[in-house]
Structure 1
Amino acid sequence: MLKLSAALAAFALSWPALAQTAPPPPSPADAIPADWKPIPDGEILVMTLRGGHQVFIRLAPRYAPAHVGNIRRLAEAHWWDGTSVNRVQDNYVTQWGDATETKPLPPMVIANPPAEYEWTRFDGVTAFARPDSYAARTGHSADGWPLATDGKTSWLTHCYGMVGVGRDLAPSTGSGAELYTVIGHAPRHLDRNIALVGRVIEGMQWLSSLPRGTGDLGVYESAGERTPILSVRLASQLPEDERPRFQYRATDNERFAAWVRTRENRTPPFFTVPAGGADICNAQAPIRRAQ
C-alpha cells in the first residue's frame, strides 16, 4: 500500500507537465502584431436593433466616397432611428430603411450620387491561383477589401456580409438611406450594378437569422414582421469609452499571402483532396476586436 501511495503521489506531481502540451509551431500564415491595423471611428457604423442587438459595419469611403458621405450624414442626423428591417430574401439579402419610402432625407444628402460602381485603378495586392468566373483577376486591397478587375476597371465584390445601397431602376443610384447586406451565396452578378459601401464585421447573426419575408423578393407584408431599428450611429458619435474598437489584418505581406494559400489548399487530417484554388469571397480578410 505504501508503494502504491508513493507511486500515485509521484504521478500526481508529474501530471501538470504531462497535461501541458507544447503549443504548435508558428505557421507562415500567422499574423504578427504589426499586421493588425486600427479601423478609424469614422469608418464604423453601429446599428442597434430591437432587443439591443448590435450590428457593426465597416464603411469603405475610399471606394464609394459620395455614398459613404451620405451615410455619415444620415447617421449624424439620426435618420434611421425608428425605421426597420423591411426585407429578408433567403440566400440573398437583408435590407433596411424606411418602409414607407416617404421619410424626407436630411439636408446635404444627395438623392442620387454618382454611380460609384467601378473605377479605373486596381489596387489589389494579393492574387489567387485560379481565375475568377466574374473577373480577369481578384485580390485584396492592402487594408482588406475584396476587389476584382477586368483589366480596364475595378470594383468591390458582392461577398457574404458586404453592404450595398438599394436603388430604383437606372439612372437611380440610391442615396444610401436603403441599405442591404448579403446573407447567402455571393451574388456576384450584382457587381458593377450597385454601389457597395461596406461590410458587416460583427453582429451578422442579427440580420442573417431573421424570418424570411413572404412577399415578392422577401419583402415583409406587414409592419409586425419588421424588425425595428432603434438607432444607427457612427462610432465617432459615441462617447469615447463606448466606441467599439476593431482592427483589420493588413494583406500586403508574405504572411497574408501564405494565409490565402491555406484557403486555397485545405490540409489533412480532415481534408484529403485540396481544392487548388479559392474564390475571393471564401478568403475575406480577417477583422477582429482590438486586443
Structure 2
Amino acid sequence: MKHLVLTAVAAASLIHPASAEEPASIPSPGEIVAAAPASDWVAIAPSDLLVMDLVADAGGEARRVVIQLMPAPFSQGWIGNIRKLAAAHWWDGTSINRVQDNYVAQWGDATEKKALPAGLAVVPESGYAISDPASGRVTVGGKPAIRLSKDEANRRSKRFEQTGKGDIFGGRSMADAYAPEVMFESGWPIAYSGSQVPDSRWPVHCYGAVGVGRNMSPDTGSGAELYAVIGHAPRHLDRNIALVGRVISGIEHLSSLPRGTGALGFYEDAAERVAITAIRVATELPAADQPRFEYLSTDSDSFDRYADARQNRRDPFFIKPAGGADICNIPVPVRPIQAK
C-alpha cells in the first residue's frame, strides 16, 4: 500500500506541475537525517563496540550483533566487567538461552557453572543512577540542559494543536511518564530526576537496549548474563537493572528467534539454544573486520529538527501530528561509516 501511495503522489506531480504558490515539501525524519552534514555525525570508537557472532543460521548465513557500550559516567562498573569477560573470551561457547515475546532476548552460560574471570567488580545498586553535583544543573556538551516541566510540555502541545506550530525541544529535555524529565546526553536517552532529591540521572530502557541480568536484590549481576530489549520499551526496569549499551546492528538476529516455551521465555530444550561463537571488543578483531559506525549528534541542529519531526509528523502521509513523542520513539540515528 505504501508503494501505491508513493506511485500516486508521483503521478499527480506529473499532471499538476508545482506552482510558486504551493507550500514547500515538509521533510520526514528520515529525510532530515539523510540531509544532515558530515559535521553533525560522531564516530563511535571501535573500543566502545562489542561484537557478538552467533552460529550461522539454517541457510548458512553469518549472524553478527554489534553493541555500543554506554559511555561514562553511566554503568562503568558493569562495563569494566564486560570488557574483562570479552578479553577472557568467556562468552565463547555460551548461548542465547531466553527469548520472551515483546520483551527480551538473553544470553550467557545456561549451566551457570562456568567459572568467571578473576577481578570482576561487585557493583552496588547505587550504580543504577548517577548523582549530580549539588548545583543540580545537568549539562550537555558543556551547556546547561533545557528543562521542560510536564505543565510546560502540555502547554506546548496545546499550542501546536491550536496554531500548528511546534516547539523544538532541542534534543535536551521533555516530559515523560516514568521520570520527571528525559533528555538526550551524548547520543543516549537519559532520564532525570528534575527537582526531586537526590538530583540524579539514569539511562532508560528503549528498544535494543542491553542490560545486565541479575538475581534478587541486592544482587546486581556481574555482566556475564546480558539481555537485549526486543519489544515495547520496558521502562519499569529503569533504575532496577543496569543498562550497559544498545544494539546498533543485527537486532534482527535476536528479535526473529523462536520464542522460548518455558517460564519467562527460557528454552526448555538445550537444542533450542542459539550458540554464541564469540564476543569481542571490536579492537580485538583484525582491522578489516572491525565494524565502524557513527551516530547523529544529539547536540546538533539536525537532531533538533529530526526530534521535532518525530514528535510532530507534518510530512504528507500524516493527517494529525501527535504533538509529542515518548523518548523511545525518537531513536538516535546510527549508521555504518562508509569505507573511503
* Fold in common (TM above 0.5): yes
1:148 maps to what in 2? 191
Query: Aligned with 1:252: secondary structure?
Result: coil
1:78 and 2:69 aligned: no
Q: Give the Cα–Cα distance (whole angstroms) in 1 for the partners of residues 187 and 210 of structure 2.
A: 15
The CA deviation at 1:25 is: 9.5
The CA deviation at 1:193 is: 0.3
Q: Deviations over 1:85-127 (max 9, x none)?
A: 00001000000000011111011223x3233211123445524
Tell me which amino acid in the other structure corresponds to 1:83: T
Where does 1:210-221 land on structure 2 (aligned, <5 Å)?
210-221=257-268
2:164 maps to what in 1? none
The CA deviation at 1:78 is: 0.4
Q: Deviations over 1:134-183 (max 9, x none)?
A: 11111111x21110112222110100000000000011010000000100
1:59 and 2:69 aligned: yes
Classify 1:270/1:28 alpha carbon distance in 2 versus 1 (closer, same or farther; 3 Å).
closer
The CA deviation at 1:32 is: 1.1
Query: Aligned with 1:259: secondary structure?
Result: helix
Tell me which amino acid in the other structure corresponds to 1:206: H
Q: Give the Cα–Cα distance (whole angstroms) in 2 for the partners of residues 123 and 57 of structure 1.
A: 26
Tell me which amino acid in the other structure corresponds to 1:270: F
Name the % identity: 53
Q: TM-score, normalised on structure 1?
A: 0.87
Q: Give the Cα–Cα distance (whole angstroms) in 2 for the partners of residues 260 and 38 of structure 1.
A: 20
Q: Give the Cα–Cα distance (whole angstroms) in 2 for the partners of residues 77 and 123 of structure 1.
A: 36
Where does 1:1-291 land on structure 2 (aligned, <5 Å)?
30-51=35-56, 52-62=62-72, 63-110=74-121, 112-115=122-125, 116-121=127-132, 122-123=138-139, 125=145, 126-127=171-172, 131-141=175-185, 143-151=186-194, 152-291=199-338
Query: Aligned with 1:281: secondary structure?
Result: helix
Unaligned 5+ residue runs, structure 2? 1-13, 15-24, 57-61, 133-137, 146-170
- Who wins on radius of gyration, i.e. which is larger? 1
Query: Aligned with 2:128: secondary structure?
Result: coil
Classify 1:235/1:35 alpha carbon distance in 2 versus 1 (closer, same or farther; 3 Å).
same
Q: Give the Cα–Cα distance (whole angstroms) in 2 for the partners of residues 259 and 113 of structure 1.
A: 36
The CA deviation at 1:255 is: 2.2
8 Å Cα contact 1:66/1:114 also seen in 2 = no
RMSD value, Cα = 2.0
Q: Give the Cα–Cα distance (whole angstroms) in 1 for the partners of residues 50 and 173 of structure 2.
A: 30
Q: TM-score, normalised on structure 2?
A: 0.75
Query: Aligned with 1:231: secondary structure?
Result: strand
Query: Aligned with 1:133: secondary structure?
Result: coil
Q: Give the Cα–Cα distance (whole angstroms) in 1 for the partners of residues 178 and 47 of structure 2.
A: 32
Query: Aligned with 1:272: secondary structure?
Result: coil
Query: Aligned with 1:58: secondary structure?
Result: strand
The CA deviation at 1:28 is: 6.8
Q: Give the Cα–Cα distance (whole angstroms) in 1 for the partners of residues 42 and 315 of structure 2.
A: 31
Query: Aligned with 2:131: secondary structure?
Result: coil
Q: Give the Cα–Cα distance (whole angstroms) in 1 for the partners of residues 238 and 309 of structure 2.
A: 26
Q: Give the Cα–Cα distance (whole angstroms) in 1 for the partners of residues 89 and 46 of structure 2.
A: 17
The CA deviation at 1:268 is: 3.7
Tell me which amino acid in the other structure corresponds to 1:254: D
The CA deviation at 1:196 is: 0.1
1:3 maps to what in 2? none
2:59 maps to what in 1? none
8 Å Cα contact 1:127/1:137 also seen in 2 = no
Query: Aligned with 2:298: secondary structure?
Result: coil
Query: Aligned with 1:78: secondary structure?
Result: coil
**Comparing 166-175 with 238-247, which one deviates more in the overlay?**
238-247
Query: Aligned with 2:107: secondary structure?
Result: strand
Unaligned 5+ residue runs, structure 1? 1-17, 19-23
